[in-house]
Structure 1
């Protein structure tokens, strides 16, 4: 068997597309190690083998330990890793892009850097969430006001649909148990959606910090993307779970959300939405899947790397 150091890094075409991966996998009270290109989870019941390239986000709950080699193969596979606290509250995530190209990142930075196009993307995000409403002409503050009303209405509608008593959104950072059952379910669903969105954003090579609605945080763009599916998937699933009882809210919400993500093919949808937001229809996305390095020249031209250009200069 070859050593880890002798294995070559997988090319983008050798890796499983993010849209075809398991949305997230939750582990707790086990040791995570590596066996060839799979990770292993070992606990009192034995050892399970999990192909690293099929994972979108690995959620590591209480009592987990992970080895350096396991982290190495997860990073090479483009999987995000989240260390999750009790009941899934708080996490730290990282990963490596499945694409070696910076095309989407450059498109994101270009649209973010211009105030006009930044607002256009924010409006497009609102349109994805509420397609029956036209946000054209709305200011930033008006967008926030409309979004707040729609989310509040969603809570009320889901409470009526499921028969769950809703007293309003209550969340104390760091204290999952401070809220009632529906609030705990909403929080747990939100944390999972952030992890899934983080995995997709990182896998596509985009910046997690350049947000179009959220700002000032290293995960601003992740929060933007996760919110696209809040009223469509996250909140309805949370209320369904709360309607079934207030026991074991966190784990039941994760399982229900996992099933909903697979049923709705959310990863595929998320990938397509990000690409459409950053590279609208009619604009070129050439080079998105290229595994090559170029050098910047004058007038935004790109020239081949690995060449000495001294002879091309007129001294």
Structure 2
């Protein structure tokens, strides 16, 4: 339910990370990825020609409607999303449930990103933090994955709300095969090879005309 640290093999290929960096550094390709990430959240797709601000508006309406729908279905009063890390005990039960659930999805997204060879820092929608891409990826699934469990448990009397949310999400994410789905979606979004590339040792040498073989004497 959490990801605290990871190790990376010294001989592992950096091809996927380089592909992510190329897409991230070019404004046109970055915008394409951003649009694709938003479109993935709408089963019916989005209208053509929307500006990025208009797309964010559609996303805000989608999230608002989802909260209202689950609130009505479970009889849990919903006002607004509030999360203050330094004032946790004053949060409403549903806000605690959502925060606990989101943390689990962040952990899974972080694991998926690292395991598939990408960087958690090079976010496309979010930016400026070492976990920006984690937030990007988690947002693709939060409504589908976290809301049904969080509202269900917030509506259920009893103690250990956060533990019940984590346990429920563990089973829910396993049933959805969410980690496998995240990996496939990452490769689809970033155009990475499904098979982990096998690097040469000690790697190639960069050249503006194209990489050349390393580990040999070019004299």
Normalised TM-score (structure 1)? 0.64
Within-5 A mapping of 1:257-272? 257-272=169-184
Find the counterpart in structure 2 of residue 296 from structure 1: 206
SS of 2:118's equivalent in the other structure is coil
Find the counterpart in structure 2 of residue 41 from structure 1: none
Within-5 A mapping of 1:130-279? 130-134=42-46, 136-245=48-157, 247-279=159-191
CA apart distance, 1:291: 3.7
Match of 1:306 among 193, 215, 218: 215
How many pairs were matched up? 216
- For 1:223 and 1:196, how far apart are their aligned partners in 2? 11
Deviates most, 182-191 or 200-209:
200-209
CA apart distance, 1:277: 0.3
Find the counterpart in structure 1 of residue 39 from structure 2: 127
Which structure shows the higher helix fraction?
2
Could you say which structure has the greater relative contact order, defined with CA pairs below 8 angstroms and 6 or more residues apart? 2
Deviates most, 138-147 or 176-185:
138-147
Larger radius of gyration: 1
RMSD: 1.9
Normalised TM-score (structure 2)? 0.91
Find the counterpart in structure 2 of residue 95 from structure 1: 6
Q: Which runs of 5 or more structure 2 residues have no equivalent in the other structure?
A: none
SS of 1:154's equivalent in the other structure is helix
Conserved? CA contact 1:181–1:246, under 8 Å: no
Q: Which runs of 5 or more structure 1 residues have no equivalent in the other structure?
A: 1-23, 25-58, 60-80, 83-93, 311-315
